[in-house]
Structure 1
Amino acid sequence: MKHFIYIILLSFTLTGFAQHTNLFLADPTIFEHDGTYYAYGTKENGNIKAEGFLVYTSTDLKHWEGPKGATDGFAFKKGDGYGTWGFWAPQVFEKNGTFYMAYTADEHIAIASSDSPLGPFTNNGNALPSDVRQIDPFIFFDNGKTYLYHVRLDNGNRIFVAEMTDDFSAIKTETLTECIHAEAGWEDTESVTWTVTEGPTVYKKDGMYYLLYSANDFRNKDYAVGYATATSPYGPWKKNENSPFISQTLLNYPGTGHGDVFYGKNNNMYYVFHTHFSEEKVGPRKTAIIRLKQKNNTIKILNAKSIIWLAL
C-alpha cells in the first residue's frame, strides 16, 4: 500500500511540475505565425540534454507547450549547422515563405533556415565572416534593405549595425557603424573595464527608429533595459532619459534584460526578457513578458505588476 501511495504522489508531483514549471530560456525571443507564438532562447534547463535552441508554443501567451522543436524538442540542434558551443540569443523571422534563425555560436553569428518555425533550422556550417568575435544578432528590414544589428566584442560589448547582402551570407563591411556603447551610470553600475551593451532589438514607428538594448554584465543584478532613438538605421543614436525602463528597481526582480519586442492580439506591444532565478542565484534564468506602451517617442511599462512568467 505504501508503494502504491508513493507512486500516486510521485505521478502527481511530476505532472504538477510539468504543468507549472517556468520556461528557463535566457535571451528570449517570441515569433508569431498564423496565430501561434513560438518562444526560443538560450537553453538554461539543465535537465534537457544536448545543445541548441528549444522552442515552445502558445496561442494565448499564458499557456505554453513543449519543447516542440522538430528534433527532440530543438528547432536547431547542435550538428544541424554551424557551432560547437555557446548557442545563444536566437532571432527568428520569415522572408518569402522561408523561416530564418539568426543565432550566436562559438562567439560568432550564423543564420540557418527552415520551412517551419519548429525547424529543423539548418545551414552549411559557416558563420558570417568577421574580423572579431560577435554575438547577439538582430535582423531588421527597412526600405528594401536588410540590416544586421549585433554586438562586437572589441574593447567592450558594443552594438554595431551593417547592411547585409540579399542572401544573408555576409555584411557589407563598408557600412559597418557603431551604434552605442556603455557610458551612462546605469549602464555600468560596477565601474568595470570591459563595459557591456548587448541584446539589440530595433523597430520603426512614425519615421523614428528605436533601439532597445541591455547593459551591465548579465550576472549583475542591475542588468537592465534602456533604449535610444534615431532618424536613420545608422543613427546617430540618442539615448533616452527614461532609461532604464525595465530594471530590478521597477519590477523587483534581479537581472532583468536581453529580450525582444513583439506584438500580440489587438496589436498590443510586449517585451519578452529573462530574469535571474532568484536574489541568490543567477541561473537557471527565467523567462517573462510584460506589456509596453508608447506615447510620442517614450517607451514605458504599461503596469509593473503585469509581468507574465512563461510556464508549462
Structure 2
Amino acid sequence: MRIRICILLLSLAHFSHAQTRSGNPVFPGWYADPETAVFGHTYWIYPTFSARYKDQVFFDAFSSADLVHWEKHGHIVDTSAIHWAKRAMWAPAITEKDGKYYFFFAANDIQNDSTVGGIGVAVADRPEGPFSDYLGKPLIDRFHNGAQPIDQAVFHDKDGSWYMLYGGWRHCNIVRLKPDFTGLLPFPDGTTFKEITPEGYVEGPYMIYRKGKYYFMWSEGGWGGPDYSVAYAMAESPVGPFKRIGKILQQDMKVATGAGHHSVLQIPGTDDYYIVYHRRPLEETDANHRVTCIDKMEFDEKGLIKPVTITKEGVAERRLK
C-alpha cells in the first residue's frame, strides 16, 4: 500500500508540474505570425489564421493570465468590418494608446500599385474587440523602395515617437506614424519611407529596445519551407544602419521545422524576455499547417541574443504583478 501511495504521489507531482508549463503549441489550431502584447495583468497573442488566402479573412485573439491557460476570442475583426479587404488578412500588430486599441494588419496580398490593399488599421475600446475600420482605407497601399506593404510591426520609442517597420519581397522600410495613427510623418531629412533592409532579410520585421541598443529582427527563408528562421541586427538608432549578426531561431529536426515570423514578449519591469513564433509540426507538409509557440529568449553578457532553444514543453507559468 505504501508503495502504491508513493507512486500515486509521484504521478500527481508530475501532472502538477506538467500543468505549470505552457506546452507548445500554446493553443490548438493552425495559427501563424503571432503578435504578443501585455495589457493590464493579461497576456495577449494575436495571430494570423493560417489558411488559404481566400479563407484567411478574419482574426482570432487569445488571452492568458499565466502563459499556460489561454482563452480564445473569436473573430475580433474580419472582412465584414473592413470593406476594402477581400482576402489574405495576416500578420497583425497591436498597440494601446489613450484607452484605445489599434490593430494593424495586412490584407489582399497586393502585387502592384494598381491593386486595392496593403496595410490597414482597426480600432476598438477593448483588446478583444470587436474592431472597426479606423481609416476606411489602407494606411499604406503602394510599393516604396521595393517593399510589399505587409508584415507591419509598431515600435514605440523611448522618446515617445511611434514607428512602423514593414515589408515583404526582401525589402524593409521604417516610417514614422502620426500620434493618432491616421497617417505618416516625414523624417528630419524630408523622406517618409526609409529603407533599412539588412543582408538576408525576407519579411516579418520586429524591433525592441534594450539597454541603449535597438534590436531589429526579421524572418529569412521561405515561409512555406523548413528553412524559415529569424535573424537579427543591432544599432544605436531605430533607423540603423543595421548589419546582420546571425540567426536566433530556426528549425530543430527533433522538434519542429519552419520556426519563424515572431514577436517578443518582455515581462514588464524585468529583463526577462520570451519569443512568440510559429513553426510547423514535423509530420505536417501543408504550408499552412503552422502552430503558435513560446520559448525563452536570453541575452549574453555582451548584449547579444543567444540562439533560442525551441521546445515541446514551452515556458513556465508566470502571472503578472
Compute the TM-score of the two structures, normalised by the length of structure 1: 0.78
* CA distance in structure 1 between the partners assigned to 2:162 and 2:277 by the alignment: 24
Q: CA deviation at 1:302?
A: 6.0
Confirm or deny that 1:136 pairs with 2:154. Answer: no
Confirm or deny that 1:260 pairs with 2:276. Answer: no
The answer to whether the 8 Å contact 2:34/2:292 transfers is yes
Confirm or deny that 1:115 pairs with 2:125. Answer: yes
RMSD: 2.4
* CA distance in structure 1 between the partners assigned to 2:312 and 2:38 by the alignment: 21
Q: Which string of whole-angstrom CA distances, capped at 9 and with x for unpartnered residues, describes residues 267-296 of structure 1?
A: 320010001233541332111001011133
User: What pairs up with 1:6-21 in 2 under 5 angstroms?
Assistant: none
Partner of 2:275: 271
Q: Which string of whole-angstrom CA distances, capped at 9 and with x for unpartnered residues, describes residues 60-102 of structure 1?
A: 1112122x2xxxx111122212411111000111111111111
Aligned residue for 1:236, secondary structure, equals coil
* Cα separation, partners in 2 of 1:294 and 1:306, compared to 1, 3 Å: farther
The answer to whether the 8 Å contact 1:251/1:304 transfers is no
Partner of 1:229: 234
Q: CA deviation at 1:21?
A: 6.3
Task: Find 1:287's aligned residue among 286, 289, 292.
Answer: 292
Partner of 1:202: 207
Compute the TM-score of the two structures, normalised by the length of structure 2: 0.76
* CA distance in structure 1 between the partners assigned to 2:269 and 2:179 by the alignment: 32
* Cα separation, partners in 2 of 1:169 and 1:25, compared to 1, 3 Å: same
Q: Residue type of the partner of 2:263?
A: D
Q: CA deviation at 1:157?
A: 2.5
Partner of 1:166: 179
Q: Which string of whole-angstrom CA distances, capped at 9 and with x for unpartnered residues, describes residues 198-228 of structure 1?
A: 1111011122100111111101211001101
Greater displacement, 211-220 / 172-181: 172-181
Aligned residue for 1:228, secondary structure, equals strand
Greater displacement, 298-307 / 142-151: 298-307
Greater per-residue helix proportion: 1
User: What pairs up with 1:67-78 in 2 under 5 angstroms?
Assistant: 68=73, 73-78=74-79
Q: Which string of whole-angstrom CA distances, capped at 9 and with x for unpartnered residues, describes residues 115-158 of structure 1?
A: 1000011114210144324101111112122111000x5xx331
* CA distance in structure 2 between the partners assigned to 1:157 and 1:279 by the alignment: 29
Q: CA deviation at 1:265?
A: 7.3
Partner of 1:93: 95
The answer to whether the 8 Å contact 1:273/1:287 transfers is yes
Aligned residues: 266
* Cα separation, partners in 2 of 1:253 and 1:144, compared to 1, 3 Å: same
Confirm or deny that 1:51 pairs with 2:57. Answer: yes
The answer to whether the 8 Å contact 1:55/1:118 transfers is yes
* CA distance in structure 1 between the partners assigned to 2:222 and 2:107 by the alignment: 19
Q: Which string of whole-angstrom CA distances, capped at 9 and with x for unpartnered residues, describes residues 213-264 of structure 1?
A: 1111101211001101111111100211xx2111114874210000100124
* CA distance in structure 2 between the partners assigned to 1:210 and 1:251 by the alignment: 29
Q: CA deviation at 1:297?
A: 2.4
**Identity level (%):** 29
Structure 1 unmatched ranges of 5 or more: 1-19, 188-195
Q: CA deviation at 1:179?
A: 1.2
Task: Find 1:177's aligned residue among 191, 194, 200.
Answer: 194
Aligned residue for 2:139, secondary structure, equals coil
| Greater relative contact order structure (CA < 8 Å, 6+ sep) | 2
Task: Find 2:217's aligned residue among 209, 212, 218.
Answer: 212
Q: CA deviation at 1:266?
A: 7.2
Partner of 1:157: 170
Partner of 2:250: 247
Partner of 1:190: none
The answer to whether the 8 Å contact 2:255/2:282 transfers is no
Greater than 6 Å deviation, 4+ residue runs: none
Greater displacement, 267-276 / 297-306: 297-306
